[in-house]
Homo-oligomer: A and B are copies of this chain.
Amino acid sequence: MGFTPRRYLGVKPPSPTLLLPFLLPVLLVGGQGDGNAAMDNVVTERMAEESHRQDSAYLLIFIMLLTLTILTIWLFKHRRFRFLHETGLAMIYGLLVGVILRFGIHVPQSTSDVVLECAVNASPATLLVNVSGRFYEYTLKGEVSRGKDHQVQDDEMLRKVTFDPEVFFNILLPPIIFHAGYSLKRRHFFRNIGSILTYAFMGTVISCFVIGSLVAFASLGSVSEDFLCIYPALKSHRLSAAVTVLAIFNELKVDVDLYALLFGESVLNDAVAIVLSSSIVAYQPTGDNSHSFEAMAVLKSFGIFLGVFSGSFALGMATGVMTALISFYFTKLRDFPLLETGLFFLMSWSTFLLAEACGMTGVVAVLFCGMTQAHYTYNNLSRDSQDRTKQLFELLNFLAENFIFSYMGLTLFSFQSHVFNPMFIIGAFLAVFLGRAANIYPLSFLLNLGRRNKIGMNFQHVMMFAGLRGAMTFALSIRDTATYARQMMFSTTLLIVFFTVWICGGGTTPMLSFMSIPVGVDSDQEHSVSN
């Protein structure tokens, strides 16, 4: 299981060996001075090569997983087998590979890890180590074990498979959201914009209060430690992009209003969660761990929310309009579809990054950028580029989505610092469920007072059911797993996502027919980006 004690410094000098065996004797014999430096260089070279080889192998695992998923999806589609969605499938494959990596393969333990017993007061982001006169730079990857009373776990391979969460956030998420915006039925989205904003903002606030007070109630004893849980909880659990369910809805061509409501709520939740978490951080330093929100604070949060939301909205629109203008004025660009497509792709991606870099929400920005691109730029493009962009984003969306889900499956076993606390998990499920219920039903009641086109009870049940969390939650909660509380959050999130994908994903089709919600509607608008 990997509970190998590491060698401690001073007891035995560590050797930098991820190396081929034949180099070992030389290392042990190795002389001093120049000769030693020479050997060091060859050693470094060898290490770099070995590390490159490993990186290739790890990436290969994921590519193979995706290939397998595609072949099985094809088989499913061919046999018209709909019980399990492709994302659930990707997850299962990931899970299997995770089990194999964890229990099946035992690579020789790397002897290159050293435990430094230095008295550092806090964990810095970068570390410089003075190795006999040379300085080496190290970057923080995260906390490894749970405390000093536990052995430090060690498995090079598993640690390497669990790679940088920034990749998810900056590379895999944007295409998914952009594609959603690009192929969205904008008419229905804007027809329901009021309800969407209500669910997104009011609903999230309600859920937060419910979850927050439940957690506070459950843990009166150790308040300060548990307060930490609310913070990531707000951040990750309130982000219900629910990509799976949406994907199924999209495929089944479910009622467009229901789709618009769910989709809009999921995406805008991001903006709300960011604001809530930042306002909580602004509170924290006052010292008292009170969970109460004062009136001023709520107003201030609302102000920040409006700022973040409208800022992201404006940014997304601006980039979209700019691309449209470039493609309109530089008409000669049409002669070079490659340049045109490249420009389109880069401008859209930069929206996300720009928003994130400015501290706004890239998800909202890239969503509206996608909508603007579809509305304006699309019509300025050459026929060739129209096809290219549509196909490119479709492919990227497909690959990114399946990658994320197979990675999730893999992570359940490959992540080394899982903290499964049964009480916390049950509590989290309960809190999320209650929070969701306190959000959907009362708000729907209120909204129905003003809506001509009422939100039926069946819609409300589906929203309740589909409101659990998907890929984005995962991406957000894996971003920082450095502390104990966050590791617990991460493990719990993972379980909730699994639950969502398998139970909710698998149960969507039966549920829709049980609730007598029409599917297969509005197929004429499907795959048209210019409606």
Binding site for B on A (CB under 8 A): 6, 9, 13-16, 18, 22-23, 25-26, 34-35, 37-48, 51-57, 59-60, 63-64, 66-67, 70-71, 73-74, 77-78, 110, 112-145, 147-148, 152, 156, 159, 166, 169-170, 222, 224-225, 227-228, 231-232, 281-282, 284-285, 287, 289, 326, 330, 332-333, 336-339, 341-343, 345-347, 349-350, 352-354, 356-357, 359, 362, 387-388, 391-392, 394-395, 398-399, 479-480, 482-483, 485-486
Contacts and interface: CB of A to CB of B under 8 A. Distances in A.
Given A129-B123, A336-B77, A170 B55 contact: yes
B45 A353 contact: no
Contacts of A136: 123, 140-144, 482
Given A141-B137, A353-B60, A387-B387, A398 B281 contact: no
A287 B38 CA distance: 10
Closest 7 CB pairs of A and B: A138-B138, A48-B480, A56-B356, A60-B353, A57-B357, A133-B148, A56-B357
A67 B362 CA distance: 19
B126 A112 contact: yes
Contacts of A228: 38, 41-42
A54 B359 CA distance: 10
B120 A9 contact: yes
B342 A70 contact: yes
Nearest to A134: B143
A131 B123 contact: yes
Contacts of A127: 113-114, 116, 127, 129, 138
A134 B123 contact: yes
Contacts of A144: 128, 135-137
Contact of A63 (B143, B152, B349): B349
Nearest to A354: B60
Contact of A392 (B48, B333, B395): B395
A449 B107 CA distance: 53
Contacts of A121: 13-14, 131-132
Contact of A342 (B25, B41, B42, B395): B395
Given A59-B353, A137-B141, A122 B15 contact: yes
Given A115-B128, A115-B135, A138-B141, 20 more contacts: A14-B121, A22-B285, A38-B289, A44-B480, A48-B479, A53-B356, A56-B170, A56-B354, A64-B350, A70-B339, A116-B116, A118-B129, A119-B132, A120-B129, A123-B129, A123-B131, A128-B144, A135-B144, A342-B398, A345-B395
Contacts of A43: 122
Contacts of A70: 339, 342-343, 346
A320 B324 CA distance: 40
Contact of A48 (B115, B117, B482): B482
Contacts of A117: 130
A60 B77 CA distance: 39
B353 A124 contact: no
A155 to B, nearest CB: 11
A16 B123 contact: yes
30 contacts: A13-B122, A14-B120, A26-B285, A38-B227, A38-B284, A42-B284, A45-B232, A45-B480, A46-B281, A52-B166, A53-B357, A55-B170, A57-B357, A63-B350, A66-B346, A67-B347, A67-B350, A71-B343, A74-B336, A78-B332, A116-B130, A118-B129, A119-B132, A120-B129, A121-B132, A123-B129, A136-B482, A137-B144, A139-B139, A342-B395
